[in-house]
Amino acid sequence: MTFSWTPHRFAGGALALDVANSIILRFDPARSVDRFAEPAQLDAFPKAAGEFSAERALFGTPAPVPKPNQASFIAMREAIDRYFRACVNNAENPLLLASLLEATAVMLRIGTRGSLDTETAHSALRLLSETEKKRIRICGNCGWLFIDRSKNRSRIWCDMSVCGNRVKAARHYNARKDRLP
């Protein structure tokens, strides 16, 4: 299956969240797709991150994850997702934090500075600050993690032009359908 890395795929607002969001419909086993299951997609992601990631000014265009580091990188992706989802759901757990810190430490120890694995580890560690962590949300449409940088912290979709429009269109369709005889 061929994918394209578009700006919407980087709606998380942080490289670590964009990596966590590389699983589409994570909690729908029938439709879930791991974009990194295809090695070509994992290799294409860094170039797209350099173009679309909100943190591209910090990390530039990272190098691809070296093959020997890919399993540890995927383990870090999962630790990032579990920890920050728990934070959003007010279920922060010291064991999840320990798992995240352990996974990032592994990447920083074995990774090469400037590669996607180490840059993602740095991004995840930056998200641990209270200011950033309190702004992380889960999209009400697709379930992705994103940083709400709106003034009143009321954003509910990762990307208004995609998820917000889908929800609004579905609501409009259902309202019209209910009014028809």
Cα-to-chain-centroid distance, residue 56: 15
Q: Is residue 80 part of a domain?
A: yes
Q: Is residue 2 part of a domain?
A: no
Asked whether the beta carbons of 45 and 6 are under 8 A apart, the reply is: no
pLDDT for position 171: 62
Show the domain range for 164: 7-179
pLDDT over threshold 70, residue 165? no
- Whole-angstrom distance, CA of residue 170 vs CA of residue 168: 5
CATH at 65 = 1.10.3300
- How many angstroms separate the Cα of 129 from the Cα of each of 125, 134, 149? 8, 9, 15
Total count of domains within the chain = 1
Q: Is residue 129 part of a domain?
A: yes
163 vs 167, higher pLDDT: 163
Decide: pTM greater than 0.85: yes
pLDDT digits (tens, 9 = 90+) for 108-160: 999 989 999 999 999 999 999 988 899 999 998 889 999 999 888 888 888 77
Say what angle helices 116-127 and 39-52 make with each other, to 10 degrees.
60
Mean pLDDT over 2-26 rounds to 91
Q: Is residue 1 part of a domain?
A: no
Q: 104-112: which pairs have CB atoms within 8 A and are 24 or more residues apart?
A: 104/76, 104/79, 106/72, 106/75, 106/76, 107/69, 107/72, 107/73, 107/76, 110/68, 110/69, 110/72, 111/66, 111/69, 112/63, 112/66
Asked whether the beta carbons of 54 and 14 are under 8 A apart, the reply is: yes
2 vs 37, higher pLDDT: 37
Q: Is residue 134 part of a domain?
A: yes
pLDDT over threshold 80, residue 177? no
pLDDT digits (tens, 9 = 90+) for 22-77: 999 999 999 999 999 999 999 999 999 999 999 999 999 999 999 999 999 999 99
pLDDT over threshold 60, residue 170? no
Q: Is residue 23 part of a domain?
A: yes
Mean pLDDT over 86-108 rounds to 96
